[in-house]
A and B are shown apart, each in its own frame.
Chain A
Amino acid sequence: MSTLTETAPISTTAGTHDSQPARRSLLRDTGIVMFRELRPVLRDPFSLIFGMIQPLVFLGLFGPWLVGSLGDQAGDAFGGSVWQWFVPAILVMTALFGTSTTGANLLFEFQTGAHERMMVTPLSRPSLLIGRSLKEMVPLAGQAVIIVAVMIPFGFQLYPVGALAGLVMLAVFGVGLGSLSYALAIAVRKQEWMFWAVQQTLIFPLMILSGMLLPLETGPAWMQAVAKFNPLAYVVDAERALFNGELASSTVAWGWLAALATAAIGLAVGIRAMLRSAD
C-alpha cells in the first residue's frame, strides 16, 4: 500500500452539501436504474448473444411441430400464416419469462446489501421497480428485431407501426409483471426457495391459458372460459392483432386495458412491498 500522502488530493466535484438538491424526476431515476441494470449485461456480450438466440431456437423447434400437430385445423386456427400467429406469441413468452423471474435478481441484491444501499439513496421508490422491469425490455426489443429479420424470408409479414405498438404494450405489461415479481421476492425474502416455487406454479397455467403456444380454440370449453379471466390472454390476442397491422380494434383495446391494469396493480403492490422491504 502506498502511503497516504502520495494519493492525489480529492477535489470536490461532488460539492453537493448545501447546493440545492437536484430535482428528482421519476423519468430520470427510472433511466438511472435501468442503465445500471443493463451495464453488466452489455459488459458480458456472450450471455447477451445466447439470450438473443434463445427465442429463435424455440421458434424453430416448436413452430413446425405446431403446424404438424394441428394438421388440417391449422389454417383455421391461425387465420393464415403460422408465423404471423406464432412470432408475437414468442415475444410475449420471452417477456413473460424475463420479467416474471426478475425478482430473483432483487433477492440476490437483498442478500448482498446492494438493495439496502439503493434504498438509502434519494432515488424515487417507483423508479427502483420500473427501471428494473424496463431493463428486461431492452434485450426483448433486440430479440424482436432478430426474430422478425429471420422470419421474413419464411413469409412473416412486418407491419412496423403495429409491431412497435406491440412492443410498447409488452413493456407496459412487463412493468406490471416485473413489479409483481419484485413484490413476490420481497414477500418471500426470508425463504428464498419460495420465490421459484410460487413463480413456477403461477407461470405455466398463466401461459397455457393464454393461448400463447396452442390456439385456445382447440382446447376444451372450460379452458376457453377460464382464459377469459387471464389478462395475459388479452395481451396475446392483442399482440397478434398488432403484429398483423391491426392498430385499432376491440381486440387491441382489450389488450391495452389488460396491460395497463396489470401495470397499475403490479406497481401498487410492488411499491407497497418496496417501502416495507427494509423491515
Chain B
Amino acid sequence: MIRTRSLTKDFVVSRSSTVHAVRGISLEIDAGELVAVLGPNGAGKTTTMRMLTTLIAPTSGTATVAGHDVVAEPAQVRRQIGYVGQGNGAGHTQRVRDELYSQGVIYGLDRRAARQRAGELIEALELTELTGRKVADLSGGQRRRLDVAMGLVHAPPLLVLDEPSTGLDPQNRANLWQHILRMRAEYEMTIVLTTHYLDEADSMAERVVVVDHGEVIADDTPEVLKAKLAGDRIVVTAADTEGARRLARLSEHLPEARDIVLDGARVEARVSDGPGSLPELMREAQDAGVRVTTAQVHRPTLDDVFLNLTGRSLRETEGNGENTDGENSDGANTDTQEAAA
C-alpha cells in the first residue's frame, strides 16, 4: 500500500540554514495494516504524511502510495486516499451535511449518491443531530468525527490520520477510536496514523514505527518493541541485605537478565519475560532459603522503548498533551503549526 525509498525532505529556512525534516525514510506498509508513526514533535511524522498525501514534494527518494508514485501521479494517489489532517478539514462556515455532500461530489459521486453517502456517514459517525449545524459551532470531538467522515466519503483503501485524537479528552478519544476501528473492519482499510500519545500507539496500532530526527529508529509490533528494546523489569525485596545479594546473583540466570541493580534489600533487573521469570526466581529463592518480602513485575511502555533508543523520554517532549504547541513535526512548517493551534 505504501512503499518509500530513502525519502527525504529539506526545508530551506534561510540562505544559511536548512532544516532536514526527514532524512531518508524507507518504509513498507502492506494492505490492511494499522500502523502508528510515533515520535516527538519535530520528528518528521507530519512531513512524511504530507509527502505521502501529495501535499509536498519530497526533496529526494521515492514514494509509492496505492500503486502510484506521489510525484509522477499525484492525481491517482489522491483518489485512493482519505486524509484527516491536523486541522479541521471541514470549512468552518459550512453546514455538516453540505460539507459531506461536497466532499462526495468532489470524489466523483453524482448528486444522489453523494447525498445518500452523506446520510450513511452521518449515521455511522453519530452526527445525526448535527447535520444542519455550522462546523464552527461543533465541539472538538464532533468536528473530529466529521473530519473522519469526510476522509471516508469515497471509501478509500488507505486512510491517513495525522494526530487524529490530539486535543480530545479521553472519552472523545475512545469514542473516535471506536468509530475508526469499526470503519476499518467495514472497509478493510489500511490505516496509517501519527500520534504522540504513547498509550494510543500501544493499544490501537498493530505496528509502531518510531521516528526521531527524521529517521525510523524502530519498527515492529508494540509487543516486540517492548520486549526487545525495553524488556520487563522485576523488582523484589528480600528480608535482609544478604538475602538481596543472593537474589541478585540468582536473577543473573534468568533469561536475558540485564541491568541488575542491588540497592540495600531491593533488587531490580530487566528480563525478557517478567511474568515467567518472577515465579522462577521465587522458586530458586525458596530453594536457596532466601526470604522474599515483596515481588513486582513492571511491564515496559513505549516510552521505555523510546528512552532506550534515544536516551530521551517521549513524555518530556510531549507538551502536556495539549495540542497548541504546533504538533507539526517539522519545525519548518508553520502552516500546520497554525492549523494545529
Residues of A at the B interface (CB closer than 8 Å) are: 1-2, 4, 7-17, 21-22, 24, 29, 32, 35-36, 39-40, 43, 108-114, 116-123, 189-190, 277-279
Known: A7-B123, A189-B335, A278-B56. A14 touches B109 (CB 8 A): yes
Minimum distance in angstroms from B237 CB to a CB of chain A: 45
Which of A14, A22, A29, A123 makes the CB contact (< 8 A) with B153? A14
Cβ-based interface call for B88 (8 A): yes
A13 touches B85 (CB 8 A): no
Contacts of B91 in A (CB 8 A): 36, 40, 109, 112, 114
Q: Chain A contacts of B86 at CB under 8 A?
A: 113
Of B87, B102, B186, which one neighbours A113 at CB under 8 angstroms? B87
Q: Does B62 contact A (CB under 8 A)?
A: no
Binding site for A on B (CB under 8 A): 11, 50, 53-56, 75-76, 78-81, 83, 85-95, 98-99, 102-109, 113, 116-117, 120-121, 123-124, 126, 134, 147, 150, 153-157, 175, 178, 182-183, 186-187, 333-336, 338-339
A40 proximity list for chain B (CB < 8 A): 91, 93-95, 98, 134
Q: Decide if the interface of chain A is mainly helix, strand, loop or mixed.
A: loop
Provide the residues of chain A in CB contact with B175, threshold 8 Å: 1
Asked if residues B178 and A279 are in contact (CB atoms below 8 Å), the reply is no
**Complex Cα–Cα for A87 and B166 (A):** 53
Tell whether A116 pairs with B339 under 8 Å between CB atoms, given A24-B75, A122-B78.
yes
Q: How far is the CB of A187 from chain B (nearest CB, A)?
A: 13
Can you identify 26 A-B contacts, CB atoms within 8 angstroms? A2-B126, A10-B183, A10-B186, A13-B120, A14-B104, A16-B79, A17-B157, A21-B108, A22-B107, A36-B94, A36-B99, A109-B91, A113-B87, A114-B87, A114-B88, A114-B91, A114-B92, A116-B55, A116-B339, A117-B89, A119-B55, A120-B54, A121-B78, A121-B106, A189-B335, A278-B55
Q: Give Cα distance in the complex from A72 to B145, angstroms.
A: 67
Contacts of B87 in A (CB 8 A): 111-114, 116
Query: Do A36 and B339 form a contact, CB below 8 Å, given A16-B155, A114-B87?
Result: no
Which residues of chain B are near A10, meaning CB under 8 Å? 120-121, 124, 183, 186-187
Q: Which 8 A-B pairs have the closest CB atoms?
A: A113-B87, A22-B108, A117-B89, A278-B55, A114-B91, A40-B93, A120-B83, A36-B102
Q: Hey, which chain A residues are within 8 Å of B89, CB to CB?
A: 113-114, 116-117
Please give, as numbers and ranges, the residues of chain B lying within 8 Å of A119 by CB-CB distance: 55
Bound complex: CA of A16 vs CA of B117, how far in Å? 12
The interface centre, meaning the residue of A11, A109, A278 with most chain B CB atoms within 10 A of its CB, is: A278
Please tell me if the beta carbons of B95 and A17 are within 8 angstroms of each other in the complex.
no
Q: Is the CB of A121 within 8 A of B107?
A: yes
Query: Measured between alpha carbons, how far is A13 from B111 in the docked complex, in Å?
Result: 12
A14, A32, A112, A277: the one contacting B102 at CB < 8 Å is A32
Give every chain B residue within 8 A of A13 (Cβ-Cβ).
109, 113, 116-117, 120
Interface centre among B86, B89, B98, B99 (most CB of A within 10 A): B89
Question: With A8-B123, A40-B94 given, is the CB distance from A17 to B50 under 8 Å?
Answer: no
Contact A117 B339 (CB under 8 A): no
CA distance A278 to B339 in the complex (A): 12
A12 partner residues in chain B, CB cutoff 8 A: 155, 187
Taking CB as reference atom, which chain A residue is nearest B152?
A14
Q: Which A residue's beta carbon lies closest to that of B110?
A: A22
Alpha-carbon distance A192/B336, docked complex (angstroms): 15
Most buried by A among B79, B91, B104: B91
Q: How far is the CB of A125 from chain B (nearest CB, A)?
A: 10
Could you tell me if B186 and A16 are in contact, using CB atoms closer than 8 angstroms? no
- Other than the given A108-B92, A121-B78, 5 more pairs (CB < 8 A) read A7-B123, A10-B187, A17-B155, A116-B335, A116-B339
Distance to closest chain A CB from B48 (angstroms): 14
User: Is the pair B50, A278 in contact by a Cβ cutoff of 8 Å?
Assistant: yes
Choose one: B155, B333, B336; the contact of A14 (CB below 8 Å): B155
A121 to B54, CA, bound (A): 10
**Chain A residues positioned under 8 Å from B93 (CB to CB):** 40
- Rounded to whole angstroms, the CA-CA distance of A190 and B336 in the bound complex is 11
Residues on B with beta carbons closer than 8 Å to the beta carbon of A121 = 78, 103, 106-107
Q: Which residues of B contact A279 (CB under 8 A)?
A: 11, 56, 333, 335
Q: Do the beta carbons of A122 and B75 come within 8 Å of each other?
A: yes
B106: shortest Cβ distance to chain A, in Å?
Answer: 5
Nearest to A113 among chain B residues (CB) is B87
Q: State whether A120 touches B117 (Cβ < 8 A).
A: no
B163, chain A: closest CB distance, angstroms: 11
Bound Cα distance A4, B175 (Å): 10
| Docked-complex contact A117 and B83, CB < 8 angstroms | yes
Q: How far is the CA of A270 from the CA of B106 in the complex (A)?
A: 21
- When distances are taken between beta carbons in the complex, the residues of chain B under 8 Å from A22 are 107-108
Task: Name the distance in Å between A249's Cβ and chain B's nearest Cβ.
Answer: 42
A256–B160 Cα distance when bound, in Å, is 46
**Chain A residues near B107 (CB-CB < 8 A):** 14, 16, 22, 121-122
